[in-house]
Amino acid sequence: MSDEEHHFESKADAGASKTYPQQAGAIRKNGYIVIKGRPCKVVEVSISKTGKHGHAKCHFVAIDIFNAKKLEDIVPSSHNCDVPHVNRTDYQLIDISEDGFVSLLTDNGNTKDDLRLPTDESLLTQIKDGFAEGKDLVVTVMSAMGEEQICALKDIGPKS
């Protein structure tokens, strides 16, 4: 294989680029896409043509991954769309502060204290209850384009 092929542009220092261009025709349902500057998850793709003998256009229906708003976009299928880098990181939950912030343990032993508790009622109670019962909880934090949010929770058993 020749050297210049198959290497992706992103470097290890992620912050530089928050998105990556990808051909609209190659974006599938359940993929990610940036619409109106927001990172979204695609829930529906339909293809139409401009006139019978025109080129294909992709019609995306997508949901903002942070605020759950529905967004739509139409892009010629040969054009590029921005695809957000969506990162999910697991942290162990150390503490819940009274002002609604959580304290998380990072991989390198530091703590991360800038995240709010989720607004979602059920996740919120699960975190609070689980924590109160002394369970060992791991939370998954989703981050994209400079925003972060807790999106999942896993119980890795009581502290032993």
Partner 1 sequence: MQGFPGAMPDAGQLQSTLIAIERACSSIQMHMNPAEAEKIIISLRQSTMPYHTCRFILENSKMPNARFQAAGAIGDAAIREWGMLTDEDKKGLILFCLHYTMEHASAANAYVQLKVSAVAAQLVKRGWFDFVEAEKINILLEVKQAILGIHGSDVQFAGINFLESLVSEFSPGTSTAMGLPKDFHDQCHLSMELNYLKEFYCWAQSAAANAVDRIVGGYASASEEKVCSKALHFMFQILNWNFQKSSSALDYSNNKSNLASSGIRHDVVQLRKFERSLVEPGPLWHDALLSSGHTLWLLNFYATLRQKNSSDVLWFDFPLAVSARQLILQLCSLTGTIFPSDNGEMHIKHLIQILSAIIDWVEPPNIVPGTLRSGRSESEMVDGFHALLSMATLTSTMLFDNLLRSLRPFGTIHLLSALTCEVVQAHASKNDDEQTWTSEGLDILLEIWTVLLGRTGNEKKLSAESIASASNLFNTVVESHLKAAAESAFEDDSDADYFHVSVSKRDETLYAYALIARASIETTATFLTKLFTERFALLSQHNERWDPTQTLEELYWLLLITGHVLTDPGEGETVLVPEAIQDGFAGVSDELQHPVVVLSWSIINFARQSLDPEMRKMYFSPRLMEAIIWFLARWVDTYLMPIDATKGHLGTSGHDEEQQQDSQPSKRFLLSFAGQNQGQIILDIIVRISTSTLTSYPGENELQAFTCRKLLVALVRRRHVCLHLVALESWRDLARAFANERSLFSMNSRLQRSLAETLVSAASSYKDLEISNQYVRDLMGPMTAHLVDISNRNDLKAVAQHADAMYMVSCLLERLRGASRATQPRTQKSIFEMGYAVMSALLTLLELYKNQSTVVYLILKFAVDFVEGELAFLNAKETSILVNFCLRLLQIYSSNNIGKISLSLSTSLQSEAQAEKYKDLRALLQLLTNICSKDLVDFSSDSNEVGSTDIAEVIYVGLHIVTPLISLELLKYPKLSCDYFALVSHLLEVYPEKVAQLNKESFAHIIRTLDFGFQHQDADIVDKCLRAVNALASYQYKEKTAGKEGLGANAMSSEESNGEFQESILRYFLRLLLQLLLFHDFRMELAGSAADALLPLLLCEQDMYQRLVQEFLDKQSNPAIKTRLASAFSALTSTNQLSSSLDRPNRFKFRKNLQIFLTETSGITSII
User: By the criterion CB under 8 A, which residues form the site for partner 1?
Assistant: 1-2, 5-6, 8-14, 19-20, 22-26, 28, 30-32, 41, 43, 47-56, 58, 63, 65-68, 76-79, 83-88, 90, 118-120, 122-123, 126, 140, 151-156
Token pair of 152 as six digits: 């999942």
Is the CB of residue 72 less than 8 Å from the CB of residue 61?
yes
* Rounded distance between C-alpha atoms, residue 95 and residue 98, angstroms: 10
Question: Are 12 and 19 in contact, with CB atoms under 8 Å apart?
Answer: no
For residues 29 and 136, what is the distance between their CA atoms, to the nearest angstrom?
Answer: 35
Q: In which region does residue 134 sit, left (phi positive, over 0), alpha (psi from -120 to 50) or beta (all else)?
A: left
First to last CA, the chain: 50
* Contact call for residues 43 and 29 (beta carbons, < 8 A): yes
Which distant-in-sequence residues (6+ apart) come within 8 Å of 14 by Cβ?
85, 87
